[in-house]
Structure 1
């Protein structure tokens, strides 16, 4: 007999198990951290919320905010938001002790963000993020600070 899958209000499969600060599932009934609320955000709101999660060492949650923004972005900004989400995933892997995953995802995210380095929208510090990404890739097992999304 299979166990019924957790479903969200729209009926889609969604794991309802609580999660830790790095997004890892915890046993049912555990006290996890807050979940990211799915909602429409302006670019500024998404960047502020993602930065708050990063500052609280919750890069998985920052990734969820940035990924939601990427899926709603105008075509000319899709790669930017995807790259920002990948940078947060790279930090998640680094914090989870997976240097190989951290390097590969961070490098992909940096490549995407680099296309916006000349004229980054929304006050995004693309140049600073690229320096941060290269630092993480160069020393994935080192003491890497959280990135600053805006200057």
Structure 2
């Protein structure tokens, strides 16, 4: 990806990274919580986009990333499932992505955004469980995940300090 700049009506346009098809894509390295780092810095490998996984593989990969303290990257795995999966499961995967992004924001110290996304994701997965009649798809306890998210949202709001994403990662599957 290469950055380009140009002049537009006498104003300098900020350089933007572009992919091979000309779409804007930020090529800066990122840390474990998805925050951009300076060009040339050592970052965490990004998740490839558009990977089609089985639901079981999606859950397993996301859990590995959550356990490693990389909820931003787990959200990208859920996002792939949301975009490539069957229509009737899209709100499930979107809700799980929201939970991961909520944990990301909570770990970054964004109290308002973290709590809001944790609650939004909790509502989404709980609603999906009720509407689909599947409270434990792919071995996931959706009621338990919703409870985890709401409890963490309350803690984030009351404490205000960033949380340790790896230590606070949910268990997607329960025995």
TM-score with structure 1 setting the length: 0.92
User: Which one has a bigger Cα radius of gyration?
Assistant: 2
Please tell me whether the aligned partners of residues 121 and 146 of structure 2 are also in contact (alpha carbons under 8 angstroms): no
Alignment root-mean-square deviation, CA: 1.7
Q: Quote the offset at 1:128 in angstroms.
A: 1.7
Q: Distance in 2 between matches of 1:9 and 1:136?
A: 40
Unaligned runs of 5+ in 1: none
Provide, for residues 48-97 of structure 1, a one-character-per-residue CA deviation record: whole Å limited to 9, x for no partner: 11111100101000011111111112121111101000000100010000
Matches within 5 A, 1:96-115: 96-115=108-127
Question: Would you say 1:148 and 2:171 are equivalent positions?
Answer: yes
Corresponding residue for 2:45? 34
2:14 and 2:146 map into 1 onto residues whose CA distance is 44
2:90 pairs, out of 72, 78, 88, with 78
Deviations 1:100-151 (A, max 9, x none): 1111111110011002165232111212201211211221137571111111
The DSSP-based 3-state class of the residue aligned with 1:6 is strand
Q: Is the Cα–Cα contact under 8 Å of residues 31 and 37 in structure 2 kept in the other structure?
A: yes
Q: Is there any run of 5+ residues in structure 2 with no aligned partner, and where?
A: 1-11
> Structure 2 vs 1, CA of residues 9 and 65 (structure 1 numbering), >3 Å: closer, same or farther?
farther
What TM-score does the superposition give when structure 2 sets the normalisation length?
0.80
SS in 1 for 2:53: coil
The whole-number CA distance in structure 1 between the counterparts of 2:84 and 2:52 is 9
Q: 1:135 pairs with 151, 165, 169, which one?
A: 151
2:34 maps to 23
1:3 Cα shift?
4.7
Show the counterpart of 2:9.
none
More strand by share: 2
